[in-house]
Amino acid sequence: MRSKDGIRFGLITFGIILYLDLLGLPLTSGNSVTVIFAFLIGLFSLLFLRNRPGQTRTRSSTIVNGLLIGAISGVGLMSVTYFFASLQADGVRVNQVFAQILPENTGALTGLSKAQVLDGANIWPGLFKIGLAFMLAGFLGGSATLLFTEGTGGRVQRLGGSSVGHYVVLALPLLFFGLFMLLKVEGVQLGGADENILGLLFVFLFISASLFAFRDTRPGIERKVISLLLLALIIILPQLTDLFQNAVLSAVVIFVVMGLGLNIVVGYAGLLDLGYVAFFGIGAYTFGLLSAPESYILVNLPAFGGVTFWSGLPIAILAGVITGVLLGIPVLRMRGDYLAIVTLGFGEIIRLLFLNLRDYTGGPGGVLNIPAPIVFGIDLGNPKGIFYLGMIFSSIVAFVTIRLRDSRLGRSWIALREDEDVAQAMGLNLVVIKLLAFATGAAFAAAAGALYASRQVNIFPDNFTLLVSIDVLSLIIIGGLGSIEGVILGSIALIGLPEILRSVNEYRIVAFGALLVVMMILRPEGLLPSARRQRELRGEGIAEQPTSSE
């Protein structure tokens, strides 16, 4: 392990901490949690480093790298905080939203009040304290990775390659679940944090750690036990979370369903679709118009309307599939950039239709009072119910994805992505393969749309802007193209985390951008990549064979 890696991961850690900082993490949960995050990120980045096959590792280099990670992220955070604080003290208005958050964040990080920061109080003692805390966290993170391997200087094949490390990875989700439960105990306070938000963070960490733990299980009895245990915890989770947390988590699962659909179109078939929101909108509007009491269909054609969620869902999915095929046909011959532009236009056209076909869609007034799904007389029209339904949807969609991925169709999609001409010359019917990709992706999005309509009760054209397409695309790239677990992790990172501080929601796009750039440079395969993608981009340590020129 070279110190170059330590610096790289130090920068990643700094990026992520800054991201959380901009979202107001110190403000909402106190600086101790920020330091805990530094520790965890340091820990995970060292695990990632060791995870690379053929990586040799010594005791001292691990500790040095841990220190580097802590030092770089700590000094980085110190500098940025100091920079903003001095700007504030000089009376420079950075930005209306940041101007409100930054002094409070700075204060929270350095143990001063907002007024003191604005008065230009000396923040150096506080800064040094947090910098030292980061160094210590990185050092402890680095040292902790030592526990995860047997002996020193050995080669490590995978995350938690040794028995100790393996079980630590398996135990992490339980640890976070425990922390989440701890918050529910009366009188327990963690770093003066807002309990709702800290609880949500622990839930996110629990789910994320579960994904890693599941991937690290060995096939057989161990995998069965761990997955059953995690499954049980996830099933009871919505009973334990509060209204706010369930609302956020239900949004996350809806984006998981959509992400899995786009994953097929972009991740497998390699068709860059920037108008994916159209199918989401079609699903939502189809169900909305068929079920909302004042919609055009119910008022004018009562014979066709008044559907329940369960009879409306298949119709919404069918409508999605049909529009998917209709979009697919004209773009069959297009590739890459051209395809992206045309699909982008398509997405906008659909939104503008919702907006301008006033008589049918209600125009800007939207579709109101969409009914909730009801199962055996239980009304699921609340965050908890939608969260449960979303989990079921995600499971079904993930199942379909896995089955298709491992079939001849999945292979054909990847061949299409690799080389379209040769794929056709191998006898693949490109028309059928592309349309199946578009239709499958559209079906998933339409199902997500129907669920979304039910969750929102009222839907408007503004719910279906280009930004949604970009969000979905970003989350599958950040999670790792082609990876199902990656989609879940990406949804948590891009949809869940920003909800923690709703007031800067508009500005999360800034942080997204930065995060995307950093991610693409340092970890192009995503946070939790599919095995295939990891091999593609990391070359699996086998030297490239010289291909002689002709």
Partner 1 sequence: MDSFFEIHGLHKRFGGLGAVNDFDFQCDQGSIVSIIGPNGAGKTTVFNCITGFYSIDGGEIRFKGELLNDRSPDRITRIGIARTYQNIRLFSNMTGVENILVGMEPHLRSTYFGSLLRTKFTRNEERRAHTEAVRLLEFVGIPRHSDDLAKNFPYGDQRRLEIARALASKPELLLLDEPTAGMNIRESAETMHFIQKLRDELGITIILIEHDMRVVMGISERITVLDYGQKIAEGTPKDIQNNPRVIEAYLGRGAASGIATYPAT
Number of residues this chain uses to bind partner 1 (CB under 8 A): 37
Four-residue CA torsion sign, 434, 437, 440, 446: negative
422 binds partner 1 (CB under 8 A): yes
Closer residue to partner 1 (CB): 379 or 419: 419
104 binds partner 1 (CB under 8 A): no
Q: What are phi and psi of 159, to 5 degrees?
A: -55, 130
> Which residues on neighbouring strands pair with residue 375, listed in sequence order?
378
359 binds partner 1 (CB under 8 A): no
Using DSSP, state whether 459 is helix, strand or coil: strand
Q: Given candidates 51, 424, 456, 458, which one binds partner 1 under the rule CB under 8 A?
A: 424
Closer residue to partner 1 (CB): 171 or 531: 531
429 binds partner 1 (CB under 8 A): yes
Closer residue to partner 1 (CB): 152 or 407: 407
Cα separation of 411 and 171, whole Å? 35
Tell me, rounded to whole angstroms, the distance of Cα 457 from its chain centroid.
25
425 binds partner 1 (CB under 8 A): yes
52 binds partner 1 (CB under 8 A): no
Residue 510, both tokens: 């800034």
60 binds partner 1 (CB under 8 A): no
Least separation in angstroms between CB 440 and partner 1: 9
430 binds partner 1 (CB under 8 A): yes
CB atoms inside a 10 Å sphere around CB 158: 16
Q: Given candidates 187, 219, 220, 546, which one binds partner 1 under the rule CB under 8 A?
A: 546
Longest dimension (CA), the chain: 76
Restricting to residues 392-421, name those near partner 1 by CB under 8 A.
Answer: 400, 403-404, 406-409, 411-412, 414-415, 418-419, 421
Least separation in angstroms between CB 416 and partner 1: 9
Q: Given candidates 329, 352, 426, 520, which one binds partner 1 under the rule CB under 8 A?
A: 426
Least separation in angstroms between CB 415 and partner 1: 5
3-state SS record for 331-389:
CCCCCHHHHHHHHHHHHHHHHHHHHHCHHHHCHHHCECCCCCCEECCEECCCHHHHHHH
Four-residue CA torsion sign, 332, 334, 340, 346: negative
545 binds partner 1 (CB under 8 A): yes
59 binds partner 1 (CB under 8 A): no
> Is there a contact between 46 and 142 (Cβ–Cβ < 8 Å)?
yes
Q: Look at the block and give the residue holding tokens 């000094």.
A: 75
Least separation in angstroms between CB 545 and partner 1: 5
Q: Look at the block and give the residue holding tokens 């992490």.
A: 172
CB atoms inside a 10 Å sphere around CB 436: 20
> Is there a contact between 312 and 450 (Cβ–Cβ < 8 Å)?
yes
Give the DSSP H/E element, type plus range, for residue 251.
helix 243-262
Q: Given candidates 337, 359, 506, 544, which one binds partner 1 under the rule CB under 8 A?
A: 544
Nearest residue to 95 (alpha-carbon basis) of 546, 503, 433, 549: 503
Closer residue to partner 1 (CB): 29 or 412: 412
Least separation in angstroms between CB 134 and partner 1: 39
Alpha helices, DSSP H, located in 59-120: 59-89, 96-110, 114-118
DSSP class of residue 120 equals: T
Least separation in angstroms between CB 93 and partner 1: 50
> Is there a contact between 320 and 279 (Cβ–Cβ < 8 Å)?
yes
Cα separation of 447 and 438, whole Å? 14
Restricting to residues 170-199, name those near partner 1 by CB under 8 A.
Answer: none
> Is there a contact between 351 and 281 (Cβ–Cβ < 8 Å)?
yes
Restricting to residues 503-542, name those near partner 1 by CB under 8 A.
Answer: 532, 535-536, 539-540, 542
Least separation in angstroms between CB 481 and partner 1: 12
Nearest residue to 272 (alpha-carbon basis) of 259, 281, 262: 262
Closer residue to partner 1 (CB): 90 or 550: 550
Least separation in angstroms between CB 271 and partner 1: 16
Apex 54 CA angle, 51 and 58, nearest 5: 80
Restricting to residues 2-21, name those near partner 1 by CB under 8 A.
Answer: none
436 binds partner 1 (CB under 8 A): yes
Q: Given candidates 423, 473, 497, 519, which one binds partner 1 under the rule CB under 8 A?
A: 423
Closer residue to partner 1 (CB): 203 or 321: 321
427 binds partner 1 (CB under 8 A): yes
Closer residue to partner 1 (CB): 401 or 454: 401
90 binds partner 1 (CB under 8 A): no
302 binds partner 1 (CB under 8 A): no
Closer residue to partner 1 (CB): 16 or 415: 415
333 binds partner 1 (CB under 8 A): no
Closer residue to partner 1 (CB): 335 or 358: 335
Cα separation of 150 and 433, whole Å? 48
Length of the chain: 550
> Is there a contact between 494 and 254 (Cβ–Cβ < 8 Å)?
no
> Is there a contact between 6 and 69 (Cβ–Cβ < 8 Å)?
yes
Chain contacts with partner 1 (rule: CB under 8 A): 400, 403-404, 406-409, 411-412, 414-415, 418-419, 421-430, 436, 532, 535-536, 539-540, 542, 544-550
